[in-house]
Amino acid sequence: NAGVTQTPKFRVLKTGQSMTLLCAQDMNHEYMYWYRQDPGMGLRLIHYSVGEGTTAKGEVPDGYNVSRLKKQNFLLGLESAAPSQTSVYFCACLRAGQYTEAFFGQGTRLTVV
């Protein structure tokens, strides 16, 4: 019973490098989200998707891009990593409809040096 799986779990990048974080869900949920979590800031929404082939910006989208080519996968890309992007990244999925529950992955800890 995988639920939401994020890869990788840890990563260290040098400033200017690029990388892609993968989120995969086996729950057949329509909506998917990428958040970043920093101390004292809770979870801040980066981008989200309401269905295959669609994406939208959240609160803090700058420096990130996303793609949802398949319903079960939501990719978060960093084209040119900066130290300010050091954070813990969480992916979540949500079934369409009212008042549904968000299910989260275990997070990716990213350090940019």
Partner 1 sequence: TQLLEQSPQFLSIQEGENLTVYCNSSSVFSSLQWYRQEPGEGPVLLVTVVTGGEVKKLKRLTFQFGDARKDSSLHITAAQPGDTGLYLCAGARKGSARQLTFGSGTQLTVLP
74 counts as binding partner 1 under rule CB under 8 A? no
CB of 106 to partner 1, least distance (A): 6
Specify the residue for token string 């079960």.
72
Q: How many CA atoms lie within 13 A of 33 on its CB side?
A: 21
64 counts as binding partner 1 under rule CB under 8 A? no
Dihedral (Cα; 4, 8, 10, 14), 10-degree rounding:
-140
60 counts as binding partner 1 under rule CB under 8 A? no
Which x/- pattern, by CB under 8 A, does the window 81-110 give for partner 1? ---------x-x-x---xx-xxxxxxx---
